[in-house]
A and B are shown apart, each in its own frame.
Chain A
Amino acid sequence: MNFRLLSKRLLFLLMVVWAASTITFFIPRISPKNPVRERFAELARTGGFSPEDLEVIVADYSQRFGLDKPLLQQYGDYMWGILRFDLGISLNKFPKTVMQLIYESLPWTIGLVFITTILSFILGNWLGALAAWPRSPDWLKNIATSFVLFQGVPPVLLGILLIFFIGFKLKLLPLGGAYSIGTVPDQSIGFFLDVLRHQLLPGIALVLGSVGGWVISMRGMGVTIQGEDYVTFAEHKGLGPRVIFRDYYLRNALLPQITGLALALGNLVTSAIVVEGIFALPGLGTMLNSAIRSNDFSVIYGIVLFITIGIATLMVIVEFLYPLLDPRIRHQ
């Protein structure tokens, strides 16, 4: 039905992919550094390579990675690869491909980031709505506002503090790792709970750090909606505050928030990159971090691209789902 829209959105997606990949392609090439060389120089640190050989090896690998071809051809190959979901080969973890590496670490990040995004969406919007709702008691509004303060705390910092207080001092939750050392991953409930326990602190750090954003925007939205005539009319109808809150106020205020979901996810991914590290969770973030630190450029660009495409795709999906939630848009 919406063929035009669909094709337009797909075009948008392609444009995003194109822009992101172009940026990731050209930035390192504008810079005077040679990623392959840098990587091998780094490797030489652990011993063995001689300088004479280094250049030979670099040349050899440059060929493997196609870096000896003319720039435009490289660019073309790169683009063509991306369209086939081929993000190239890791420099550091050769012979693994970037896609393989992403698949290995993705589950952890998806688990963490998706759950925290949803949680912070629910919590933040709930608090924001309550903060704007004139009937809610002052203490509740103050709590909601104090969450805004938390928004000012970078999740890593929260993570550090949480580890210190809850992990070190109170010994309530594990200090790190994705699951208890030595357990063998399986499908059991026990394992699932173990994973959950380990995700709790990083999850809290991410949720606390991102709730405030939702509180702010939801509060703004909420005050706007509350001034709408249909809310007033609902009161005139004699509806109880609960029903009004739920069906008239929350529902309407929430809708525009949903469009922000995909972008919020993007922000959380950023936070997760740093947070995963301090909790020793082997997700995309940790992968990216180690890539950054080991000059594994192809992995860095691969992950950046992957995340970007993920976010853009989610944005498009949200856009397509949105009409299902908002009848006004459906109509157009």
Chain B
Amino acid sequence: QDLPDVPRNQTLILGWDLSAAVVGVTNPWALPGYTHQRGNAFLWEPLSYYGIFKSEEIPWLADSMEYTSDDFTSMEIKLNPMAKWSDGVPVTSKDVVFTFEGQMNNQTLPYHAAFNQYVESVEAVDDLTVNVTFKIPAPRFKFEVLTLKFDTGIPIVPAHALEAQEDVNAFPGGLDMPHSGPYNLVAWDLNQKIFDLREDWWAVEAGRIGVPEVKRIVMANIGGQQMDNIAQRIVNNEMDAALDMRSSVIKSIVEQNPMVTTHSGDQPPYGYLDWWPNALWMNTQLEPYNDQRVRRAMSLAINRELLDEIIYEGAGITTIYPFPLYPALQEFADSPAVKALEEELQPGLYDPEQSAALMEEAGFTMNRDGLWEKDGETVSAIIQGFEQIHSDIVPFLVEMLRNAGFDADVNFGADSYQNMADGVAGLYMFGHGASLIDPYAALELYHSRYSAQIGTSAGNNRFSRYANPEYDALLDEMAPLGADNPRFQELAAEALGIYWKEQIDIPIIQWLHRIPYNQTYWTNWPTADNPSLGENGAFWAHTGMLVVTNLKAAQ
């Protein structure tokens, strides 16, 4: 392989797990092998991005994307005339239609369900205009599906490259697949992926962004390595950024190398808010979790203050909400209606005595091991979780529950996700990957539409299997409304009240991404003080391309 030499000060080195990567798979539709997370996000672009910290849409391939009716049942998309694929072919409405129809017709694609639910038809009006007609009001479709942010949304794929494929799911793509993003993938093995800047990237000409200073991206494999190894390698300037760190570790990194900074500079919590607040979920159809008193008793057993203190250096990270407190949502949380509910229901209360009282009321007795027991059965409270991300917090939750008499334990096994999806009795530590700009998506998780029967699989984030007609009614009324509608806000507060009162799940922590940014070679990382376009700092997220192309060389 002949690659030109690129000096270190024009090279960006990112540490990421490539060992699980599928070498050569770049086609976003090659599923399940494809993921945008391992650098493929540098290849693919959406109609628009969303800058969460500025609450701003960032138009990209599309110059505009507007609902053309008040009830959110139609939409017009206008493409940027300069947008081009890497092989020179222009990006046209044909590609958009191909992408949308692909999702509608191909049920193995991840957004098939959403398209199926909302989209009636897609139509290319001319080369740069696409009209979308929805079956039902789809006020959030544009944001949820067509806009890339964090890990959700869809990129536009090149019709001319995929049309020819017999099975678009089995076509790997390879290094040469035409793409619209700024970098070419020039080398890929299990150790590293090398991306070189494409001089003819349309977005510069189109004025979307300045000429990127990062000429080469090397994504280096750190898969399997212990976090403190990686931390040390960052401290040693081997890498410019890497995966998000545990809170205890990031503090040491910043202390050991002053050139390393974080979203919050050198102050806790050293990270930015992710969209994935974690809760202890439970299958509300199963004994004893079908009893609100038990759920509430568990919540009362969790000492959030202690968690903040021990794990997060006193940074207030624990939460009582099922959604992340991004600007718009923070506003909602601070609204008088919500505040009043919080005052009344005390969702974050830690009170072991009240917890015990509730358990006794629910018919449990304390056995000799100090565990609640009913009919000879203790409360099966094995927390399903994921070692890599939960190994710091879950052991504490287990112990807090145990101290309150719940027979808790932990399962970090490879089967933990399925146990959640299958609704196996127990607790599931999992995020609410839903709301970003309004609370609807998070609250909708508890709609009885998703209250799958026991024995069938509950999908992503619908582990509660909760059913409550009153609640459904609120949600149904909210669905066609835009978030800025006052009625929407009113209904949302009411639904949140039910969520708290019923203790559908137990919200625990806001999710933070603590990414070390090494400024030895590169500056202008997106931080709280320098929000850039408002994108989050994760280079592996869909918006990673924006992070990279905005960096400035330090030397």
By a CB distance below 8 angstroms, the chain A residues around B35 are 46
Does A177 lie within 8 Å of B191, measured CB to CB? yes
Q: Does B184 interact with chain A (Cβ within 8 Å)?
A: no
> B555 near A: Cβ within 8 Å?
no
Which chain A residue shows the least CB distance to B430? A45
Contact A46 B151 (CB under 8 A): yes
**A234 nearest CB across to chain B (Å):** 51
CA distance A50 to B23 in the complex (A): 28
Residues of B within 8 A of A93 (CB): 20, 22, 25, 32-33
Q: Is residue B141 contacting chain A, with contact meaning CB distance below 8 A?
A: no
Instruction: Scan A80-107; emit 1 where CB is below 8 A from any B CB, else 0.
Output: 0000000000111111100000001100
- In the complex, the answer to whether A33 meets B457 with C-beta atoms within 8 Å is no
* A108 to B221 CA separation, bound complex (whole angstroms): 14
Contact of A289 with B414 at beta-carbon distance under 8 Å, contacts A41-B421, A50-B113 already known: no
For the complex, what is the distance from the CA of A8 to the CA of B233, rounded to whole Å?
Answer: 53
B531 CB within 8 Å of chain A: no
- In Å, the complex CA distance between A91 and B32 comes to 7
A57 to B111, CA, bound (A): 12
Q: Does B190 contact A (CB under 8 A)?
A: yes
> In the bound complex, do residue A96 and residue B222 qualify as a contact, i.e. CB atoms below 8 Å apart?
no
| A residues 24-59 touching B (CB-CB < 8 Å) | 33, 37-57
Residues of B214-239 contacting chain A, CB below 8 A: 216, 218, 220-226, 229, 232-233, 236, 238-239
Interface pair B221/A94, CB less than 8 Å apart: no
Residue of B nearest to A285 (CB): B224
Complexed CA–CA distance, A280 and B21 (Å): 13
Contact A44 B223 (CB under 8 A): no
Distance (whole angstroms) from the CB of B103 to the closest CB of chain A? 10
Give the chain B neighbours of A185 by CB distance below 8 A: 1, 189
Q: Quick one: CB contact mask for A170-185 with B, threshold 8 Å, 1 for yes?
A: 0100011111011011
- Chain A hits for B462, CB < 8 A: 51
Q: Are B233 and A39 in contact (CB under 8 A)?
A: no
A306 at the interface (CB under 8 A from B): no
Contact of B107 among A43, A56, A167, A175 (CB under 8 A): A56
Q: Pick from A39, A61, A94, A276 the residue with the most CB of B within 10 Å.
A: A94
A94 and B30 contact, Cβ closer than 8 Å, known pairs A41-B418, A42-B418:
yes
> For B18, what are the chain A residues with a Cβ–Cβ distance below 8 Å?
282
**Stretch with Cβ within 8 A of B (4 or more), from A11-19, A112-120, A292-300:** A292-300
Q: Is A286 an interface residue (CB 8 A)?
A: yes
Min C-beta distance of B202 to chain A, whole Å: 27
A218 contacts the other chain (CB 8 A): no
Complex CA distance for A289 and B170, rounded to whole angstroms: 24
Q: Which residue of chain B has the shortest Cβ distance to A47 in the bound complex?
A: B152
**Contact A287 to B19, CB < 8 A, known contacts A176-B225, A293-B414:** yes
Specify which of A94, A96, A163, A293 is in contact with B229 (CB 8 Å cutoff).
A163
B225 touches A277 (CB 8 A): yes
Contact B218 A49 (CB under 8 A): no
B459 & A49 in contact (Cβ 8 Å cutoff): yes
**A120 and B257 alpha carbons, distance in the complex (Å):** 39
- Pairwise interchain contact B111-A48, C-beta atoms closer than 8 A: yes
Report if A176-B190 is in contact (Cβ < 8 Å); known contacts: A60-B107, A93-B25, A280-B222: no
- Assuming the contacts A95-B169, A276-B224, A278-B224, asked whether A48 and B110 have C-beta atoms less than 8 A apart, the reply is yes
Q: Which residues of the partner chain A approach B225 to less than 8 Å between Cβ atoms?
A: 175-176, 277-280
**A175 contacts across to B, CB distance below 8 A:** 225, 229, 232-233, 236, 238
| Alpha-carbon gap, A290 to B20, bound state (A) | 6
Complex CA–CA separation, A305 to B189 (angstroms):
24
Is B417 in the interface zone, CB < 8 Å from A? yes
Q: How many angstroms between the C-alpha atoms of A240 and B450 in the bound complex?
A: 85
A46 to B170, CA, bound (A): 20
Partner of B460, one of A33, A45, A61, A167: A45
Residue A160 at the chain B interface, CB threshold 8 Å:
yes
Quick one: closest A residue to B459, CB to CB? A51
From residue 171 to 226 of chain A, which have CB atoms closer than 8 A to chain B? 171, 175-179, 181-182, 184-186
User: Given the complex, which residues of A lie within 8 Å of B108, measured CB to CB?
Assistant: 57, 60-61
Q: B62 to chain A: closest CB distance in Å?
A: 20
Q: Can you list 28 residue pairs at the A/B interface with Cβ under 8 Å?
A: A51-B450, A51-B452, A52-B113, A56-B107, A90-B22, A94-B31, A94-B170, A95-B25, A96-B33, A96-B172, A160-B226, A163-B226, A175-B233, A176-B222, A177-B191, A177-B220, A181-B238, A181-B239, A182-B13, A184-B194, A186-B1, A277-B225, A280-B222, A280-B229, A282-B223, A286-B190, A294-B20, A294-B414
Which residues of B does A touch, CB under 8 Å?
1, 3, 8, 11, 13, 17-20, 22-25, 30-33, 35, 37, 107-108, 110-114, 151-152, 169-172, 187, 189-192, 194, 216, 218, 220-226, 229, 232-233, 236, 238-239, 414-415, 417-418, 421, 433, 450, 452, 456-460, 462
Q: For the complex of A and B, list the 5 residue pairs with the smallest distance between their C-beta atoms, beginning with the closest.
A: A48-B110, A277-B224, A51-B459, A282-B190, A50-B113
